[in-house]
Amino acid sequence: VCAVVGSCASGYDKETNLIGDIIYTNTEIQDKGDEGKLQYFWETFPVGIGRNGQEPGTSDTKTTYMFTYMDAESKRPSLSTLMDDYWDLLPEYQSEISDPETDLNFLRVLYAYFPTYRDSPLKPKWSRVLAVGDASGIQSPLSFGGFGALTRHLDRISTAVSEALENDCLHKDDLAEINAYTPNLSAAWMFQKAMSVRIGQNVNPKFVNRLLATNFEIMNDNMGIRTIKPFLQDVVRIDGLLGSLARTFVADPTFTPQIIAHVGIPTLVDWLGHIFMMVLYTLLHGGVSPLLEPIVDRMENPRDKFQMRRRMEAWKFGSGGDYILPGDEVT
């Protein structure tokens, strides 16, 4: 799960309320005793900028979230404990305030657990019933952004649902093809695993910060916008992933064994299987789908046509082939 607490409030410095943070850390791993160890992350968005021509630097309102990745063990801290930490740590993150209670005017407060599933996307249990959004499990285990994931897949899902209704492909096996296995989504589990700490696990308090610093420096400074932008928008592609992993090993070779020890050999082996499938899906999308499309269009059996179209979509989205890289925009 991803546990999130946060608030939307006014009273911040207008002049510095210009941009947001997607993922930011300013503390080491927190030891919560019997409740385990947690790495806190921050996310921030200015509010009101761009509306009715309001320029950056004119709004004192922003939304701040503090979140952490953890398993669903019953020993884990409650949301109220995380909220207490949020109030204590917020002045360290937003240095223009010293006491949230007196310095800010709170408009709303948020606290929630966002679950995700190792075997995502979830398969339909019944015929004629299709889960969408968060319920389908197509959201990333990193961002837990169900709405963002749905918008990315909206055209694909709406087309598939239309075809399913037109051709009576409403059995649960047919509907399972709409949200089929996508290896890049499954591979993202490894990243979440690396940024969380199991109950009773001993880890260097600086581990997650070192992991993020090394990888983001490589993706942003060494590899550029075509690597880091898809990653930040929850699209994992094999070209960017393998390139960043290779450069990470070269930049910090002694850290790689520590990462393997942290996530565990079984998790690594499982992840390598998804990486292999990402390579396969990339090849199938780039080399096989263009050849199959005219053949599939001429198929007479509507169910066979429906299933083959869904499988080609799985190759496309499962390899990140749906993402238009910066510089490749269609005009």
Taking Cα atoms as reference points, which of 19, 5, 6, 4 lies closest to residue 104?
6
The pTM assigned to this predicted structure is: 0.87
Nearest Cα neighbor of 41 from 277, 279, 202, 211 is: 211
Question: Buried b vs exposed e over 67-105: b needs ≥16 C-beta within 10 Å?
Answer: bbbbeeeeebbeeeebbebbeebbeebbeebeebeeebe
Q: Which helix (H) or strand (E) holds 260?
A: helix 255-263
pLDDT of residue 328: 63
The H or E element spanning position 44 is strand 41-46
Where does residue 41 fall: left (phi above 0), alpha (psi -120 to 50 degrees), or beta otherwise? beta
- How many angstroms from the chain centroid is the CA of residue 104? 30
Q: Are 306 and 169 in contact (CB under 8 A)?
A: yes
Question: If you average pLDDT over residues 21-42, what whole number do you get?
Answer: 94
Q: Kind and range of the H or E element at 280?
A: helix 265-283
Query: Per mean pLDDT, which range of 56-65, 165-174, 295-304, 311-320 is the poorest?
Result: 56-65
Distance, in Å, from the CA atom of 104 to the CA atom of 187, rounded to the nearest integer, reads 40
Tell me the pLDDT tens digit for each residue of 106-151.
Answer: 999 999 988 877 778 888 999 999 988 778 888 777 766 656 677 7
- Report d(CA 183, CA 121) in Å as an integer: 10
pLDDT digits over 178-218, tens only?
Answer: 989 999 888 888 888 899 999 999 999 999 999 999 888 88
Pairwise CA distance, residues 180 & 175, whole Å: 9
How does residue 281 score in pLDDT terms, banded at 50, 70 and 90? very high
How many Cα atoms sit within 13 Å of 314 on the Cβ side?
Answer: 18
Average pLDDT over residues 153-167: 94
At 214-257, the pLDDT tens digits run 888 888 887 888 888 888 777 889 988 888 888 888 888 999 99
